[in-house]
Structure 1
């Protein structure tokens, strides 16, 4: 088994990947991988004031949910296109994302974001794939030299 099949592209994990969630409406989400460097650092910083409550198991679930929603909005759900509510377009901002992710009525949307951000295949290193595609393209008859144009 080739270990490279597990190799992640850390840039994609941090910067996010556009994923179509509804082709009919054109809704796309830009999702970074859950547990990326920024997520871990931000979550640790945001939970620091609650260390004692975390250790004792007394941290209120509402506080945990709010912090998690804010961290997801800041580090995982990085943008969207074509997201609507009641027929109106919802403009992206980290604040709007945090409000939606924290709203219990949109729990299924939050679960979708977490699911997409957890999909390992989305963040696999693409270098081998791209090399194979380029090789297939060049062997299919692309030209170089005087007749080729560059942009």
Structure 2
């Protein structure tokens, strides 16, 4: 395997980019920074240290993990979204939910919105992947043009 196939786009990791084609969230896109960006790591370490030592000695509880992850997603990963339709929409007039930090905080903390959280995590996990591999994969799916066409 070539090193270039392993490399990530550090600018997308740190600054963010739009990611679509998210499993189970058709038509939704997230503008995200990558998991493990510098701010994410700093905040995650800080929040874990705030948990009493006795509660982290044998690993964090699911509740503490979720709380830390939600805060990190909100503060250092999710920048914007597109394609999330508000529940009060009608078939005639689509009303899309605009991104706001307050709305995102409520949705990311809501256990019923686990699919949304998973979508943001998925986008953050792949945002920094190299586009070169995608272009080569697409090119390989086409048959060569026949002469004279």
Q: What is the TM-score of this pair, normalised by structure 2?
A: 0.69
More helix by share: 1
**Contact 1:13/1:33, CA 8 A, preserved across alignment:** yes
Work out which of the two has the higher radius of gyration on C-alpha atoms and give 1 or 2: 1
In 1, distance between residues paired with 2:27 and 2:131?
24
Q: Is residue 5–residue 133 contact of structure 2 (8 Å, CA) maintained in 1?
A: no
* Residue 45 (1) aligns with residue 50 (2): no
After TM superposition, the runs of 4+ consecutive aligned structure 1 residues lying more than 6 A away are: 127-130
Change (3 A) 1:6 1:117: same
Q: Secondary structure at the match of 1:92?
A: coil
Q: Specify which structure has the bigger relative contact order, considering alpha-carbon pairs within 8 angstroms and separated by 6 or more residues.
A: 2
Summarize deviations over 1:37-91 as a string: whole Å, max 9, x none. 111111111222115021244x543333122112111111111123223024322
Which structure has the highest strand share of the two? 1
Q: What is the CA distance between 1:117 and its match in structure 2? A: 1.6
**Cα separation, partners in 2 of 1:11 and 1:4, compared to 1, 3 Å:** same
RMSD across aligned positions (CA): 2.7
1:124 equivalent to 2:129? Answer yes
- Distance in 2, Cα, partners of 1:129 & 1:19: 13
Unmatched 5+ stretches in structure 2: 90-94, 136-149
CA distance in 1, matches of 2:102, 2:72: 11
Residue 115 of structure 1 deviates from its aligned partner by: 1.6
Give unpaired runs (5+ residues) of structure 1: 131-151
Q: How does 1:81-92 map to 2 (within 5 A)?
A: 81-86=82-87, 87=89, 88-92=95-99
Number of matched residues?
Answer: 125
